[in-house]
Structure 1
Amino acid sequence: MRQGHRLDLLADGNHFFPAMLAAIDSARHYVLMEMYLFESGRLADRFIAALIDAADRGVQVHLLLDDFGSLKLQAHDRVRLRTGGVILALYNPLRLGRLSANLHRDHRKLLLIDGRVAFTGGSGITDDFDPSIRTRRWWHDLMLRIEGPVVHDWQRLFERTWRQSSDAALPALPTKLPEPAGPHATRLVVNDGRRREIQRHLVRRLSDAQQRIAISVAYFVPPPRIRATLRRAARRGVKVDLILPGRHTDHQSARYAGRRFYTQLLRAGVRIHEYTPRFSHVKLMICDDWVSLGSANLDHWTLRWNLEANLEFEDTDFAATALAQFTADLAQAREVDLPTWMARGHRARAREWFWSLISSWLVRWEAIRPPRAPVRRG
């Protein structure tokens, strides 16, 4: 754990987007931005304008987008960025005949300003996350604003991924750690195909939890080890609550695949709550005073194929802040009880069976194929 951080947990786009845009406006040396979802629209227009304005001031602006996640970024917006002085790179361009390689995506979300402040969390740059645009059905999410030494670790992580994706030179990045900015301790953990730190740390914390496990994720298709660890925790008396998407989601297939596991979890004493007002895109995991927040869900893409990055905390004060947000979300979720769940209809059961079969087949198919490295540059 690195010491000395200021942390601001920001809920929903009406709070974190203005903070992110203000940070870009304050940049004097460089802006590094890495995003999975970046789609043309009113919100993207605001970020494109802010990035171009920064470049006009002489700030070096590097924007790294996942090729699949940015498919809806229109050609004219890409031209605007490049002609406006923004250096744009695409991670792992999609290629026909390379399904295995195409599965590897950059799902991280990062905005880093001058080596002094960073933002990370679950949001993308699409109108869906902005309550001022989608006034009734915006996507609920969290972002974290960070100041302190761990910003240096985010910077080096961005640098490694950028060099895999582009030959364009990065600005000279400082080698000195940022000065301590607050009382909190944190560490950066990653998944990148070779390292699976996020999953490994989560399993250990689930196993060690004594009082409380609280998990909110947008996609829940966990591997057997995580499911078993959750069941064991509930059976030994740990309070285990999951907040998962209800009917509002952008991937019904993932929702049905994950619901296949509800019965075994409910029988073990795990409490499952489906978020009802809108799509909850949050990625938050709490085990007692340990918190993990960032880009990672609990599904096959997160745990096997994606580039992911979370921040971890062992901090009573920040754990209380995170748990307060989780509790507020819990108040807007509908609990799934075992008798009602067991009485669900045949159509729902058939969908769960079908999509869990597809999910299992995809994992087995990938496991038996020879590894194929993703095509990086674009």
Structure 2
Amino acid sequence: MRQRFNWHGGNRVELMVDGETFFPVMLSAIEQAQSSLRLEFYLVISGKILDRFIQALTDACRRGVDVKLIVDGFGGRHLSRADRHRLQTAGVELVIYNPLQLQKLTRNFARDHRKLMLVDERLAFIGGTGLADEYWLSERSGCPWHEVMCQVEGPVVADLASLFNQLWLRCTGKALSPPSAQPEKGQALVRVTMVQGLYQQDIKVAFLNHVHAARERVWLATAYFMPSLSIRSALRKAARRGVDVRMLVAGPYTDQFWVYHASKRYYRRLLNAGVRIYEYQPRFLHAKVGLVDEWVSLGSCNLDHWNLRWNLEANIEVVEPELQLRVEQLIERDLEQCVEITAESWSRRPWHRKVKELVWALISQLVLKIK
């Protein structure tokens, strides 16, 4: 079912950067829940972070809170049987979205990539995190992953609750009570946007519309730089007309090395058009942040080929000076930890890198042709 949401004024949106900031806030919110908790996450991996969430959700169930959790079938493949049992025994209603099955063939590619948590339908968290140690406690190279989440209050929370309710109905056949309207909490103008595979691509459409109309800047941070032709064309046109176009992408640390190499085939034309490309160095850049003039987009969508073709995604668009400033400052800090790729340096890269990029580019093109 196609869903579209309107802009709502009177919201408060707080930007939280990295797991050591947002996980304690999310856990505290669970501890204060009084009636309901709704969680929807792509990446869920048994470990220290998940243990804390399971304990908090267990305590909530003991208080009589209604707890429902949707976990993607692929992203949750490292959720242990023991932890599933702990959740279900505690009283958490656990649903696995599109469990992997060989006979499904290419339908296995359809994934729920959203990251959403709702507390009593009055407070929402949305962004790019998973419930996994990679976002805070992992000591692996390139960790913890650099990520952002938003805490949201106000009328738009009802739309985020509707988003969860619709998927719950689709997965279980059971309808949840419609969310209640929420009072105004701040000054932010906010709208929920979605991707539902090729069926609905509001996030992409909104980004393109803003890039086409950009006057001063287009700044985009993304983990997987595999943009569609229409997005690449819009970025080049914006740069040619004098807009400050900057792409902040993952550097040497990534969980998908083939994407890192395959994405390089887009660099030359973008650089020649005046787009500035920066590769983040300290750890894996997993954030998905767009800043076009005064407009901000945050959420789960990387705007890459795969996300836009197969996934369920959810972002929020925000217009508010305070959040705009915080996002601007975040990107500026991150740029200081990047290596800028220039057209001159790119043309001088060694031949073996060019071969590796070509091979992975060809493989990615074959994968994208899968129906």
State the shift of 1:23 in Å.
0.5
Query: What SS is found at the alignment partner of 1:139?
Result: coil
Runs of 5+ in structure 2 lacking a partner?
1-6
Structure 2 Cα separation of the partners of residues 131 and 280 of structure 1 = 16
**2:56 aligned residue:** 50
**2:22 aligned residue:** 16
Equivalent position amino acid for 1:269 in 2: G
1:265 corresponds to which of 258, 270, 275: 270
1:92 corresponds to which of 90, 98, 102: 98
Task: Please report the TM-score for the alignment, with normalisation by the length of structure 1.
Answer: 0.93
**1:215 aligned residue:** 220
**1:127 aligned residue:** 133
Equivalent position amino acid for 2:297 in 1: S
Equivalent position amino acid for 1:296 in 2: C
**2:182 aligned residue:** 178
**2:347 aligned residue:** 342
State the shift of 1:99 in Å.
2.9
State the shift of 1:359 in Å.
1.7
Query: What SS is found at the alignment partner of 1:261?
Result: helix
**1:188 aligned residue:** 192
Root mean square deviation of aligned Cα: 1.4
Structure 2 Cα separation of the partners of residues 132 and 354 of structure 1 = 31
| Aligned CA distance change for structure 1 residues 221 and 135 (closer, same or farther; 3 Å) | closer
Whether contact under 8 Å (1:14, 1:132) holds in the other structure is no
Equivalent position amino acid for 1:91 in 2: Y
Equivalent position amino acid for 2:39 in 1: M
Q: Please give the residue correspondences for 1:75-114 in structure 2 after superposition, counting only pairs within 5 Å.
A: 75-114=81-120
Whether contact under 8 Å (1:116, 1:148) holds in the other structure is yes
Query: What SS is found at the alignment partner of 1:228?
Result: helix
Identity %: 43
Structure 2 Cα separation of the partners of residues 99 and 356 of structure 1 = 23
**2:3 aligned residue:** none
Q: Please give the residue correspondences for 1:280-295 in structure 2 after superposition, counting only pairs within 5 Å.
A: 280-295=285-300
Structure 1 Cα separation of the partners of residues 124 and 140 of structure 2 = 26
Task: Please report the TM-score for the alignment, with normalisation by the length of structure 2.
Answer: 0.95
State the shift of 1:279 in Å.
0.3
Equivalent position amino acid for 1:265 in 2: L
Structure 1 Cα separation of the partners of residues 104 and 236 of structure 2 = 37
- Deviations 1:229-281, CA, capped at 9 Å, x for gaps: 10111111000111100000000111111111111111111000000000010
State the shift of 1:365 in Å.
2.8
Within the alignment, does 1:115 sit opposite 2:121 as a pair?
A: yes
Structure 1 Cα separation of the partners of residues 311 and 200 of structure 2 = 11
State the shift of 1:131 in Å.
4.6
Query: What SS is found at the alignment partner of 2:103?
Result: coil
Within the alignment, does 1:242 sit opposite 2:254 as a pair?
A: no
Query: What SS is found at the alignment partner of 2:363?
Result: helix
Structure 1 Cα separation of the partners of residues 238 and 320 of structure 2 = 21
2:260 corresponds to which of 255, 259, 272: 255
How many residues of Structure 1 are paired with residues of Structure 2 in the alignment?
364
Structure 1 Cα separation of the partners of residues 141 and 99 of structure 2 = 34
State the shift of 1:157 in Å.
0.6
State the shift of 1:220 in Å.
1.0
Q: Please give the residue correspondences for 1:194-213 in structure 2 after superposition, counting only pairs within 5 Å.
A: 194-213=199-218
**2:306 aligned residue:** 301
Whether contact under 8 Å (1:115, 1:173) holds in the other structure is no
Structure 1 Cα separation of the partners of residues 356 and 141 of structure 2 = 31
Whether contact under 8 Å (1:29, 1:114) holds in the other structure is yes
| Aligned CA distance change for structure 1 residues 301 and 313 (closer, same or farther; 3 Å) | same
State the shift of 1:97 in Å.
3.4
Query: What SS is found at the alignment partner of 2:160?
Result: helix
Whether contact under 8 Å (1:127, 1:134) holds in the other structure is no
Structure 2 Cα separation of the partners of residues 198 and 136 of structure 1 = 29
**2:13 aligned residue:** 7
Whether contact under 8 Å (2:203, 2:315) holds in the other structure is yes
- Deviations 1:317-360, CA, capped at 9 Å, x for gaps: 32122111111111111111112111112221122112211222
**1:374 aligned residue:** none
